[in-house]
Amino acid sequence: MPQWRKDPLVDRWVVVATERAKRPCDFKVPAYETKGERCPLCPGHEGDTPPEVLSFRREGTQRDTPGWWIRVVPNKFPAVRVEAREGVYRRGIYDFMDGLGAHEVVVEAPAHEPFLENLSGRQLEEVIRAWQQRSLDLRKDGRLKYIAIFKNFGQVAGASLEHTHSQILAIPMVPREVREELEALKQHARLTGKCVLCQVLDQEIREQERLVVQGGSFLSFAPFASRFPFETWIAPREHQHDFAAVRHDQVRNLAGVLRETLLRLQKSLGGAPLNVVLHTAPVNEPDTHYYHWHLEILPRLTTIAGFELGTGYYINPTPPELAASILREQEVFCAPPVMEVQKGAVQYV
């Protein structure tokens, strides 16, 4: 029997179509093909991008030259611009503003590798630290209210370059979905004195049905009201509102859970397109300590059609319990990393 399931974080219902119960082989996943084109993100092509704003590189190497293992550059075709004016204007019934913000690309490794999960655990730690450092730096601009960090993998998911990379968009408003989560968590904390996502994690650990990876400070799980087949979240077990405040000693654990979760998805879904999006507390806003940050991994196996667009509700043909069971069955520890971080290197800003 199909079920309507309510997301405990927001007022959103999802139809879990249990009678369809689609497994990975039931989805048409296009084989991932490399393009073989000149890559502007590879070492030696630094002149193809704007000047870097952050890099982790070998000692003695100069900015915008080879020798880096993490490189962050402004997007060559930015959706928003930091030099735009602040302020909302009105023309009749319409409000508008200049395209204020910052848009950056995080090149996650020098190796021309499409899959983030094929990198070493240490390299993923460096990716996370780059995300954190750019978040801390961008929030110094008091006009910006939210730092969106996301990754598109595969053309269907919006990726135009195959070299593993993520993006950062700092914007002057809080996204509606995050605002709804903020209000819901605040209201729940006011009524119960507890964080609803902390309670979700406690229940997932007790029940084990939707748990995918449990690794010390972090865990990944298939949400009870998953919108998409094989949707998987990663969250800290400790209540934390700001991703940039993840402690140095926790980064390795987070990198390990992220890598293992992505490897399980890759082995189960055959390199299907997906998006990884960070939900974290706004910046330059009053107290938001009741929020609980998390990463959402959203495979693009189904097409959003008329029902979803017309109602805002989703139909998920794969129950999250089935998805989690399939992901747990995968053996992932034999995957060799593409590269390791070189020793004796320094960070260049």
Q: Which residues participate in catalysis according to the annotation?
A: 165
Q: How remote is the C-alpha of 20 from its chain's centroid?
A: 28
Which residue is associated with the tokens 């930015």? 78
Cβ neighbours of 309 (radius 10 Å): 8
**Among candidate residues 45, 80, 85, 83, the one with its CA nearest the CA of residue 65:** 45
Are the C-beta atoms of residues 82 and 62 closer than 8 Å to each other? no
Are the C-beta atoms of residues 9 and 185 closer than 8 Å to each other? yes
CA triplet 277, 144, 241: central angle to 5 degrees? Answer: 50
- Token pair of 254 as six digits: 């987070």
CA distance 272 to 79: 26
